[in-house]
Copies of this chain bind each other. A is one copy, B any other.
């Protein structure tokens, strides 16, 4: 019987998960692929690291040429993190005639254009379901299932680490530092979680989705982003009081003026599907002009959910579906439609949550409200509690605005910041409309 020979390059946690599926569940995978997928080679620079599965003798090597020079290997799962040598090795694999499956969103967000062009020239494919949304099949959904639609909006929770931290803060009342520590302890956060909590990881994933759904060609560094590293417990409590949860939301929204793109902590109304996403889960809400609103929810990271997406890509590639998808989608190609313009962030309207630390004296509210009013920003709701705590005469004032332009909001915030009655530590978050 015909078999498809596959290899894994980069053998960490995800790689072990992929190997386990291929080695332990070969029969199931053969049934879904119409033929067996035979894992013939694994390559990693580190041969001594303890791994959570037992490999057949001779399968693991530190010699990449065992893959590159083996013409029988059709598909390679490349799971090397970071940009280099991941980029060079992917080019080498493509040039040696292999189709590639990857989970490396940073690599695609950074070098997608070069890698996809090269793959096209060589008649090869790159599959990347695992790069966004972990086990959620969002890449297939947008690039194969919602193809009758013009996607109009994407609102997504794309970073499981941030969502875990926010959920701990909101539900257990743990502070930011303690929540980060717990995420690290549970394996949801790296030793250095910067890319997760500052919004970079979500921005890279959003750049990929925005390219798939809108043809946008945007450098992820140009996507305005705010992380959750400034998240504070009082805001969780006020948000809850107002009927909202705080989520790190990645947004891409098409308007006649262009594409709105940003990543930021956002108040999401209780009872809506996005507000109910807890822990390390991811979720993506897509609006298409034909289908309406479709919502996907699942594990955003982790060994086996990510391996599930990688192996689905492996099957897609081995059976020939991926070659077709890759050719028809023509991603990151210069021949594709003219890219949609990214909208000037200052012109994007939105509702805002504001928390000021203000002097506890008469007239303060009037000064702040006056500045908002002069910038045509109207107040939707307001919280100022009596407090029995020692406040040194400084109290929190929480304002939720109606829709206002981001630019006007920024100007008003600057002016309010100059008031002598307003102390440092002002918080501004978006509110999902």
Contact = CB atoms under 8 A, between A and B. Distances in A.
Report the contact-size class of chain A (Cβ under 8 Å from the partner).
Answer: 35 or more
Oligomeric state, in number of copies?
A: 2
A147 B315 contact: yes
Interface stretch (A260-268, A301-309, A380-388, A406-414): A301-309
Interface in A340-386: none
A32 interface: yes
Contact of A144 (B140, B288, B298): B140
Interface in A21-35: 21, 25, 28-29, 31-34
Given A137-B145, A288-B308, A328-B34, A294 B294 contact: no
Nearest to A275: B276
Contact of A312 (B29, B34, B144, B312): B144
Interface string A138-149: 001100111111
A59 to B, nearest CB: 19
A367 B305 CA distance: 50
A97 interface: no
Interface string A246-281: 000000000000000000000000011100100000
Interface string A278-311: 0000000000101111111111001011011111
A298 B299 contact: no
A391 interface: no
A147 B32 contact: yes
A292 B304 contact: yes
Interface string A312-354: 1001100111001101111000001100000000000000000
A396 interface: no
Contact of A337 (B31, B33, B140, B324): B31
Contacts of A330: 34
Given A137-B141, A146-B308, A292-B302, 14 more contacts: A135-B291, A137-B144, A137-B294, A140-B140, A145-B309, A146-B312, A147-B311, A148-B308, A148-B310, A292-B299, A292-B305, A293-B299, A319-B324, A319-B325
